[in-house]
Amino acid sequence: EKGWIDEKRFLHALNYCMLLPGPEAQQLATYIGWLLHGTRGGLVAGTLFVLPGFVSILVLSILYALYQDLAIVQALFFGLKAAVLAVVLEAVLRIGRRALKNAAAVTIAALAFVGLFFLAIPFPLIILTAGLIGLLGGRLWPDLFDVLRHGGTEPATAIADSAQAGARPSRSHTARVLAVWLAVWWVPVGLLVWAIGNEHVLSREALFFSKVSMVTFGGAYAVLAYIAQQAVETYQWLGPGEMLDGLGMAETTPGPLIQVVQFVGFMGAYRNPEFFSPMTAGVLGSIIVTWVTFVPCFLWIFLGAPYIEHLRGNRLLSSALSAITAAVVGVILNLAVWFALHVMFARVETERVLGMRLLVPDFATLDVASLLITAGALFALLRLRWGMLLTLALAAAAGLVYDLLLRR
């Protein structure tokens, strides 16, 4: 629409961002801004891509913390959670249709799901292994693993083929970018830990989400599978249902879906404020988590973009991306199953069988209303082709009607 970039250049940038840890949508915006106007363009594009969502989620997080216990709020989020599950399931199908082009891709996706859901293999190891399989497969069986097809070029774009040719990679440029952006990222974290100690919830959030920025690959839905399980099960900053509430906020507000991490940071700090007031701790948690989630994106782009521009057309990169994208389908399926169990059942137990981790629901606690709203939302998205915002709004209304007419 804007004529800034042709499809082939766009997909090349997307390939690189998909291989990076962290939120690829914001990284892609930063990359295109960098192509257009260098570092200043990248800063403007990356920052403004996030800012509206930050303000929206902060306001909604405050309202949620203050009024969560109101019956009407609980009723609205009851329907919204079921619809968000439908959105995630629709994402599995949508991405699966694009990524799983052959038996090799299907096998990688299935193994990724089994490794995460049953064997609890660390998420970064799943993605790293998939990338290595793609590199090896691209070298030995290129036609089988290079399943991503690039589109043609458009005749007139604002970014010429030689754009940013002056930003050739060099040791001095790499050293400057590393020094500046590592300081921007880690100096505030270090000062925070020094001031309040590494056991405070704000320090834990800063360190945890900094780690997430380095080890999570494959886009927002894939990242959320790891964040949800860690935030809910390991740190216990919020419950499974509340994680879905936050995802509903992020789905219905401007900005990237990954902005849900801000809600996680707010609620975790709000409930464990220690020497801060709950609201002050929550706002600080929002700011800190947003900072350590998105600042590293500027580092990865400004550091790697000059190099990646010189690797356009590299077939092995495309093969690695194909394998990682296939694994991401399995990762998102893991997220969908995990959410489904916690939305549909009031009680889910974790058991160990033959070395495997099994999540076993108590079928006596099945919530039929959640099941029906999820099914209706899936029908609206897949068959009626309704928009996501309309589907979420109607599901929230259905939750409210159910609460008013049947629960009371």
Residue 10 and residue 28: Cα distance in Å, rounded? 9
Whether 330 and 112 have beta carbons less than 8 Å apart is answered as yes
Which tokens belong to 210?
């900094």
What is the structure's pLDDT at 150?
A: 42
Other CB atoms within 10 Å distance of the CB of residue 255: 20
Query: What pLDDT does residue 25 have?
Result: 85
What amino acid is encoded at 333 in this protein? L
| Residue with token string 């990222």 | 185
Residue pair 374/390 in contact (Cβ under 8 Å)? The answer is no
Cα–Cα dist 367/363, whole Å: 9
Q: What is the pLDDT of residue 221?
A: 67
pTM for this prediction: 0.72
Segments in the chain below pLDDT 50 = 149-155, 166
The DSSP bridge partners found for residue 360 are: 349
pLDDT in tens, 143-172: 777 655 444 444 456 666 555 554 567 788
**pLDDT reported for residue 126:** 87
Residue corresponding to tokens 């599978």? 225
Q: What is the pLDDT of residue 380?
A: 93
The pLDDT, as a whole number, for residue 177 is 93
List the beta bridge partners of residue 359: 350
Backbone angles phi, psi at 359, to 5 degrees: -100, 110
The count of other CB atoms within 10 Å of the CB of residue 4 is 14
What integer pLDDT is reported at residue 11 of this predicted model? 67
Task: Select from 18, 264, 12, 10 the least CA-distant residue to 130.
Answer: 18
The sign of the CA dihedral 187, 188, 193, 194 is positive
Query: Backbone dihedral region of 23: left (phi > 0), alpha (psi from -120 to 50 degrees) or beta?
Result: beta
Q: What is the pLDDT of residue 153?
A: 44
Please give, one letter per residue, the 3-state secondary structure of the chain.
CCCCCCHHHHHHHHHHHHHCECCHHHHHHHHHHHHHHHHHHHHHHHHHHHHHHHHHHHHHHHHHHHHCCCHHHHHHHHHHHHHHHHHHHHHHHHHHHHHCCCHHHHHHHHHHHHHHHCCCCCHHHHHHHHHHHHHHHHHHCHHHHCCCCCCCCCCCCCCCCCCCCCCCCCHHHHHHHHHHHHHHHHHHHHHHHHHHCCCCHHHHHHHHHHHHHHHCECCHHHHHHHHHHHHHHHCCCCCHHHHHHHHHHHHCCCCCHHHHHHHHHHHHHHHCCCCCCHHHHHHHHHHHHHHHHHHHHHHHHHHHHHHHHCCCCCHHHHHHHHHHHHHHHHHHHHHHHHHHHHHHECCEEEEEECCEEEEEECHHHECHHHHHHHHHHHHHHHCCCCCHHHHHHHHHHHHHHHHHHHHC
Measured CA to CA, the distance from residue 350 to residue 341 in angstroms comes to: 12
